[in-house]
A and B are shown apart, each in its own frame.
Chain A
Amino acid sequence: MSAFTRQALVVARRDFTAVVATPTFLLFLLAPLFMILMSLLGLTGAAQIADTSQDKMRIGIIAAPTDGPFLVDADARLRTMLPREIQPPKLDLIPEHGTNGAAVAQALLAQPDPNFVAILYGPLEKPTILKEDGRRSTYLATLAEQALRDRKAGIAPGTLLSHAQTTDRKVTTASASSKHATGYAAVFGIFFLTLLLAGQSVGMLAEEKSNKVIEILAAAAPLEAVFLGKLIGMFGVALLFVSFWAGLAGVAIALSASFIPLPPIAAAVGLPAFLLLCALYFTMAFMLLGAIFLGVGTQASTMREIQMMSLPITIFQVAMFGLSSAAAGAPESGLARFAEIFPFSSPFAMAARAANEPEIWPHLVALGWQGLWVAITIWITAGLFRRGVLKSGPGLLSFLRRKR
């Protein structure tokens, strides 16, 4: 092992241990749990509110007794065709008394409980629908039409004329849209993880600068090795975090697989290669963006400056995500090629490419290219730190002048 690598690993080991062996790491590790719990609580609350309000809502039909069974039967059939989320409110049949359907409908719409949002009255051949402003009347109209057709055709309610048999066909090739969706999911997943984890590298040298350890490090090892070590240490922490949550997610998926269908993962390179490439691209995204953030952070002299830098850093990350998302949606476009080549969007865009295109060799080239840019970024940021903070060598302007 070269001295450079050994020194980088010594720094990485120190940083990893310093982060992991603290009580705050537990908080960091479990932070998503709080987020999940709060989201679940929020969702449950929102669902309860929605359900309560939905339960009180009704659509009504003031119908003659002879039409009632036909309407109920048609309602049952039509509802099965609609997903639960877009089903209309529960149907109430109101027996027709006299001919003043309009007045009854008006009265029903005015009452608070049950909350009628639309009432159909009159003969099914020419019904009138009275509804709240902004509501659609299509369902009640279709219901009347269907019930009338059944009655006129003499089909008794509950009668099934056609008995369909369903056979599932195994899908062997993924559709383009499912590949796009997988690509987009990969881009989002890598972006989310880097946003969550790589941004922390911005303050990684703050401790060394504040307690003067940087002098010890700079005297013992090249700054490039120190920077690389810090990135590796932080990546180790990120890996621990991701492994922990991936493990939990795996258990949750295994437990719920029987009653919650998994979305299909369609990757052109095949699932194992796709997962491996996603892991490698996450590594590269973390190292590339982490190196930039580390470099930016080292130029800050106070915590306030570091905090001020978080906004442009987040904007940069989001810009890379936007570029790569657009590339995932249009895999063979010029924009996609640009995103795949531009070093800081390349890991995201290439993950999307793995979902959309089957060739493996471009990924090997891309990983090499991204690795090169990790080295270049570390070299540049270490150089800036050496000149800007340690005041080593001639100033940047005179250095450039001399080079010229």
Chain B
Amino acid sequence: MKTFGGTPAVRGVSLSVPQGMIYGVLGPNGAGKTTTLRMVLGIIDPDAGERALLGHADPRKVSHRVGYLPEERGLYPAMKAREAIAFMGALRGLDWATGRKRAGEMMEASGLGYAVDRKIRQMSKGMAQLVQLLGSIVHQPELIVLDEPFSGLDPVNQEHLEALVRSERDRGATILFSTHVMSHAERLCERIAVIAGGQRRFEGTVDDARGLLPMQAQYVPCDRGAEAGALLPADARFDGRAWRFTVPDGGAEPMLLSLISAGHGIAGLSMQRPGLHDAFVRIVSDAKRADAEAQA
């Protein structure tokens, strides 16, 4: 639980992140994602509740095993990239010499080898962001916490970052990251939690989340006519070529049989689960409605 000036920011978020997994904390703006992560990391203390980081109640005790990329990026502008990475490693217990050596190697591997001795103020925002990310993993932490890591990056750097996250997971690290961009979560996360209004509203796999919504069907009748609509569910919409509708609870088979019997035939049929984006919108909308009802 966390309240700022009488306004509750986090009202009850219960999370458990399995080891070696890429775990996403999703939520709309102002949902309490950053506050939750900051509490977990010990930057701020909760007003109430319990937290444990890598099994320790005091997050400071394990800060050397954790890497963190904050939402608001921060580097000393006058520092050289290599020094900035080594400094962040040194704060987490890595000696300077090793930090400098690894910084050079990591920057080289990330395509920034030409800028190791460039000052941060001389770098583009994307480059500086990548340097900061490298700084947060230079000490090879067991847990990497990334707060909105993709914001401000161009598509090429976003791809780069996704690859880096996967390689860290392959190294054995656990990755916990927050985002409100569903495509990244859909591609990367093995498990997600959705936070809205300071509360956890969902926890499970991406498929679990998508499974919250019914299947969507697209049906093209042989006669290309609009008359088939009478045999389809109430939400069916015809676009002049195909019908789109939500698959009813009992499945699509009885409906398809009646369409065939009525002579409409099946020229085309596809069924698919909605994406994480739709599931997220649904979860957040339901949460808002529930909160509004609770307030009323």
List chain A positions with a Cβ less than 8 A from chain B. Answer: 3, 6-7, 10-11, 14, 18, 22, 207-208, 211-222, 386, 390-394
Contact = CB atoms under 8 A, between A and B. Distances in A.
Given A391-B4, A393-B45, A215 B74 contact: yes
A391 B76 CA distance: 23
B76 A212 contact: no
Contact of B43 (A7, A18, A22, A218): A218
Contacts, number: 71
B64 interface: yes
B8 to A, nearest CB: 13
Interface in B52-68: 60, 63-64, 66, 68
Given A10-B90, A220-B92, A394-B47, A211 B64 contact: no
Given A3-B93, A212-B70, 15 more contacts: A3-B64, A207-B76, A208-B74, A212-B72, A215-B74, A216-B68, A216-B135, A219-B70, A220-B63, A220-B68, A220-B88, A220-B91, A221-B91, A386-B44, A392-B44
B42 interface: yes
Nearest to A218: B43
B47 A219 contact: no
Nearest to A223: B43
B75 interface: yes
B42 A219 contact: yes
Interface string B191-230: 0000000000000000000000000000000000000000
Contacts of A3: 63-64, 93
Q: What is the interface of chain A mostly: helix, strand, loop, or mixed?
A: helix
Given A3-B93, A219-B63, A220-B88, A211 B70 contact: no
B212 to A, nearest CB: 34
A321 B204 CA distance: 65
A14 B42 contact: no
Nearest to A207: B76
A18 B119 CA distance: 12
Contacts of B91: 7, 10-11, 216-217, 220-221
B288 interface: no
A300 B1 CA distance: 28
Nearest to B6: A395
7 contacts: A10-B90, A207-B76, A212-B70, A214-B74, A216-B74, A219-B68, A220-B63
A208 B76 CA distance: 8
A265 B63 CA distance: 52
B78 interface: yes
A241 B41 CA distance: 39
Given A18-B78, A207-B76, A219 B41 contact: yes
Contacts of B78: 18, 22
